[in-house]
Structures are given as C-alpha cells and as structure tokens.
Structure 1
Amino acid sequence: MDTHFLGIDDLAEVPSVAVVVDVMRAYTVAAWAFAQGAEKIVLAESLDAALALKARHPDWIALKDGASAPGFDAVNSPGLLRSVDLAGRTVVQKTTAGTVGALAVKDAQLVLCAGFVVAEATARALRARGSDSVTFVVTGEDGQADEDLACAQYIARRANEPVTDADEFLRRGAASRAAAELAEGVRQGVHPDDVALCLELDRFPFAMVAALERSLMVLRPHAM
C-alpha cells in the first residue's frame, strides 16, 4: 500500500481513499458520540451552517470546539460527551481542523475518519478495501500535529503489518503540543480526562466512514 501523509492545504487533488485523522479531539469525540448511541454525525462547514442545521432540525445535537455558545448543545470534549445519552440522535459537528479535513476530501471514493480509539478498525477497513494508495490527512497544525501524524503512521503500519507496537506512537501523542494545551487548560471546553481518552488505543470496534448524503457530509460507524 502506497501511503501519503498530507496537511489539509497540501491536498492538490482528490485521493481515491482518504483517512482523515484528528486525535485531539474531533474524531475521538465522534467515536464517543457513536458509543453513546448517536445514529449519525453531520460534519458542518461552519458554525453558521451548524446553527442553520440545528434550526431546521431542533432535535439534532449541535457540537463545537471551545467554550459553549448559544445554540450549541455540547462541546468537542470526549470527557464531557461520554455522559450524554445520544441514543438515536443526529449530531452536527464543527471543529477547527477535523471536520475541515473531511470536507476537503468529500469527493474521495472512501473517506475514513480516525483517531487512536478506532485505529485497528480503521486499519482493518483499509485492508478490506485493498487500495493501492491511501492518503492520510493530518489535520492539526497545518499537517504538523504530531499526535495526528503519529496516529496516521500507526494506522498505515497496521494496515500493512500484522504486528505493530503502538507504544512509540502513543508516546508521541502524549508528548504533543495539543496534549499539553489540553492538560494545561489552554484550550476551552476541556475535561481533565480528555488527553487520556484520546490516547486509548482501540477503545471502539468500529471504523467511521464519511460520505455525501444529498448535500451533507455524514459520518457513520461501520463495525469491523
């Protein structure tokens, strides 16, 4: 499998298969939303678009980065979301990098969204697909976020090798700038357990596939 690791702005063309990685915290949060019973997640292009969707569908749960804000029901924190009952609900998610990355490759034949919590399931999805080429979209810090790059590299290796030691990759995630900012309270809308939850390897047994449904980019879990 030929692998490419690119930032969002480095995407010169639409890949056939894309894995969009946001460990801290968009796709850890998405995985927790599905674990809490969410049916699907709509990835919004902007805060205004998220609020417009919420206005049209008052029963949907709108979620954003940072501090809570009028019109939004939740924030982008796995520690805060894990106690919310989302059974059968639709979540609208807008984050700084993760949702942007998925929308940047919305025309790809297959879009997987991932973090460490669904790493093995994502690797299995790639093996099942059998694609010759996979582009990993490293969403944080203009493609330089080490927690995202480490996770992407780990998934790529797991897709090609039956046995891979995750310790090095998890250590890089724990030592990343994003982990420090979450732990030190630099970012808003944070739970003390967020870093640990983002670094739980293979917490969930499903991959997350994003695809266009009418005009919306919709994320759904796929059991592997």
Structure 2
Amino acid sequence: MDARFVGIAELAEVPSVAVVVDVMRAFTVAAWAFARGAKKIVLSESLDDALALKTRHPDWAALKDGPPAAGFDMVNSPGMLRAADLRGRTVVQKTTAGTVGALAVKDAPLVLCASFVVAEATSRLLRTRESDNVTFVVTGEGGQADEDLACAEYIACRSTAAQADASVFLHRAAESRAAAELAQGLRQGVHPDDVALCLELDRFPFAMVAALEDSLMVLRPHAVPAQVDDAAL
C-alpha cells in the first residue's frame, strides 16, 4: 500500500481513499456516539449550520468543541459522552479539525474517519478493499499533531498486515501537545478521563465510513469481520 500523510491544507486533489484521523477528540467521540446507540453522525460545516440542522430536526443531538453552548446538547468529550443515551438518534458534530478534514475529502470514493479506538477495524477494512493508494489526513495542528500522525502510521502499518508494536505509537500520542493540554485542563469542555479514553486501542469493533447523503456528509459505523483471511486478499 502506498500511504501518504498530509495536513488538510496539503490536499491538492481528491484522493481515491482517504483516512481522516482525529484522535483527540473528534473521532474518538464519534465512535463513542455509535457505541451509545447513535444511528448516524452528520458532519457539519459550521456551528451555525449545526444549529440550523438542529432547528429543522429537534430530535437530533448537536455537539461541538469547547464549553457548553446554547442549542448544543453535548460537547466533544468522550468522557462526558460515554454516559449519554443516543439510541436511534442522529448526532450533528462540528469540531475544529476532525470534521473539517472529513469535509475536505467529501468527494473521495471512500472516506474513513479514524482514531485509536477503531484502528484495527479501520486497517482491516482497508485490507479487504485492497486499497493501493491511501491518503491519511492528519487533522490536528496543521498536519503536525503527533497523536494523529502516530495513529495514521499505525493504521497504515496494520493495513499491510504487518506486525506493529502499538505501544510505541500510543506513547507518542500520550506525549503529544494535545494530550498535555487536555490533561492540564487548558482546553474547555474536557473530562478528566478524556486522554485515557482516546488512547484505548481497538475499543470498538467497527470502522467509520463517511459519505455524502442528500448533500450532507454522513458518518456511519461499518462492521468489519474480526478475522480476515489474508491469503484471500
């Protein structure tokens, strides 16, 4: 597999396969939302768009980065979200980096959104799709966020069925600027368990696939078999 690692601003063309990585915290939160019963997540262009969708669909749940705000039901924190009851609901998500990255590649034939909690399922899906050229979009810090790059590199390695020492990649993420800022309470809308939850490897057995549906970029969980016969790939 030919893997490219780019920041959002470096996307010069539509990739054939895009894996958009946001470990802390957008796509850890998204995975938790599905685990808590959400049927789909609409990735919003802006806070105003998120609120407009919420107004048109009062039963939808809206979440954002930062502190609680009027009109939003939740904040972008896995620690806070893990107790939510989202059974059958649609979630509208707007974050600083993750949703922006996914929308930047919305025209790609295959878009996966990923973090450590769905890393293995994501890599298995790439293997089953026999993806030769994969663009990993490192969303944080203009493409320099080490937690996102570490996760992307780990998924790329596992996508070739190669063995990889996950602890090395998780350590990089744990030592990242984002982890430090979350741990020190320098960001708003944070739960004390957020960093630990973002570093849980393969917590969930599904990948997350985003695609355009009636002009909206919609993220859905995608079940991936626990075992893959590599000889058949």
Q: For the superposition of Structure 1 and Structure 2, which TM-score range results when normalised by the shorter chain?
A: over 0.9
- The aligned counterpart of 1:67 is 67
- The aligned counterpart of 1:179 is 179
- The aligned counterpart of 1:48 is 48
- Structure 2 Cα separation of the partners of residues 131 and 36 of structure 1: 30
Deviations 1:140-194 (A, max 9, x none): 0000000000000000000013421101100000000000000000000000000
Does residue 10 of structure 2 align to residue 10 of structure 1? Answer: yes
- The aligned counterpart of 2:89 is 89
- The aligned counterpart of 1:128 is 128
Give the deviation of 1:131 after TM superposition: 1.6
- Structure 2 Cα separation of the partners of residues 65 and 78 of structure 1: 11
Gapped runs of 5+ residues in structure 2? 225-233
- The aligned counterpart of 1:138 is 138
- Structure 1 Cα separation of the partners of residues 167 and 146 of structure 2: 14
Matched to 2:43, the amino acid is L
Give the deviation of 1:116 after TM superposition: 0.1
Deviations 1:70-110 (A, max 9, x none): 00000000000000000000000000000000000000000
- The aligned counterpart of 1:158 is 158
Gapped runs of 5+ residues in structure 1? none
Give the deviation of 1:3 after TM superposition: 0.4
- The aligned counterpart of 1:27 is 27
RMSD: 0.5
- Structure 2 Cα separation of the partners of residues 187 and 156 of structure 1: 29
- The aligned counterpart of 2:193 is 193
Matched to 1:130, the amino acid is E
Give the deviation of 1:54 after TM superposition: 0.2
- The aligned counterpart of 2:80 is 80
- Structure 2 Cα separation of the partners of residues 162 and 187 of structure 1: 36
Q: What is the TM-score with the length of structure 2 in the denominator?
A: 0.96
- The aligned counterpart of 1:103 is 103
Aligned partner of residue 68 in structure 2, secondary structure: coil
- The aligned counterpart of 1:117 is 117
- Structure 1 Cα separation of the partners of residues 91 and 170 of structure 2: 28
- Structure 2 Cα separation of the partners of residues 186 and 53 of structure 1: 30
Q: What is the TM-score with the length of structure 1 in the denominator?
A: 0.99
Aligned partner of residue 148 in structure 2, secondary structure: helix
- Structure 2 Cα separation of the partners of residues 125 and 143 of structure 1: 24
How many correspondences in the alignment? Answer: 224
Aligned partner of residue 211 in structure 2, secondary structure: strand
Matched to 2:172, the amino acid is R
Matched to 2:33, the amino acid is A
- The aligned counterpart of 2:231 is none
Aligned partner of residue 28 in structure 2, secondary structure: helix
Show structure 1 runs of 4+ deviating over 3 A. Answer: none
- Structure 1 Cα separation of the partners of residues 35 and 85 of structure 2: 10
Counting aligned pairs with the same residue, the percent is 80
Deviations 1:34-81 (A, max 9, x none): 000000000000000000000000000000000000000000000000
